[in-house]
């Protein structure tokens, strides 16, 4: 039984988190959830396939993995499908979102959430007032 935290490239969805920051976030998450991390896996720079993690899983039979965010899941369909096959029984934890779960259904729900947030409109907070945000919210309620 092995629990691993996984660091990836600095670019994580909308975030820029260097590996030392990722480690601090994941270690804090592990401590708060009473999870003992036994292995730290650094994925290669500019890689989002989690290939190193999958390769080590074959040898070490990882039981839990901790990532900073759901944005670290592979975005390319064939890489994502490979992860679903190879790590179906591994318990995934996503520190920033506070999510954890196991299995295909859970991982698919995480990638669905990533796609939903990627399609959301960004609002420049320095150019928008609270009253403008309130008007936008009221308009959204009328549309639904």
Higher pLDDT, residue 67 or 124: 67
DSSP 73: S
Asked if 38 and 66 touch (Cβ cutoff 8 Å), the reply is: no
Asked if 84 and 30 touch (Cβ cutoff 8 Å), the reply is: no
Q: What is the mean pLDDT of the chain?
A: 90
3-state helix, strand, coil in the chain (%, to 5): 50, 20, 35
Whole-model pTM: value is 0.82
pLDDT score, position 143: 58
**Rounded distance, CA 29 to CA 18, Å?**
17
Q: Give kind and range of the element (H or E) at residue 98.
A: none
pLDDT score, position 91: 97
Superfamily of domain 2-143: Resolvase, N-terminal catalytic domain (3.40.50.1390)
Convert the pLDDT of each residue in 2-39 to its tens digit.
999 999 999 998 889 999 999 999 999 999 999 999 99
pLDDT at 144 over 60: no
């Amino acid at each position: 039984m092995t629990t691993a935290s996984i660091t990836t490239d600095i670019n994580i969805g909308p975030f820029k988190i260097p590996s030392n920051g990722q480690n601090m976030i994941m270690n804090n998450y592990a401590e708060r959830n009473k999870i003992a991390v036994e292995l730290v896996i650094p994925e290669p720079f500019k890689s989002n396939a989690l290939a190193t993690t999958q390769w080590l899983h074959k040898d070490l039979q990882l039981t839990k993995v901790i990532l900073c965010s759901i944005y670290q899941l592979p975005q390319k369909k064939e890489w994502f499908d490979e992860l679903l096959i190879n790590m179906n029984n591994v318990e995934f934890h996503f520190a920033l979102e506070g999510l954890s779960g196991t299995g295909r259904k859970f991982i698919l729900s995480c990638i669905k959430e990533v796609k939903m947030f990627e399609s959301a409109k960004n609002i420049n907070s320095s150019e928008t007032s609270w009253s403008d945000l309130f008007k936008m919210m009221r308009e959204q309620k009328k549309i639904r």
